[in-house]
Amino acid sequence: MKKRVVIGVVVVALMLIGAGTAYYLGYFNQEEIKPIQSASHSEETDTSDDESTEIAIEPPPAQPLPDHYFVASAFEEVHTQPHSDSTSDGVAYYGEELKVLERAGDWIRIALSINWKKGLKRYLNG
Question: What is the tens place of the pLDDT at every residue in 61-97?
Answer: 877 888 888 888 888 888 888 888 888 888 888 888 8
Q: Which residue has the higher pLDDT, 25 or 44?
A: 25
Question: CA dist 43 to 29, 47, 48, 109, Å?
Answer: 30, 9, 12, 54
Binned at pLDDT 50, 70 and 90, residue 32 comes out as low
Q: How many Å apart are CA 124 and CA 65, to the nearest integer?
A: 15
Instruction: Provide the whole-model pTM.
Output: 0.42
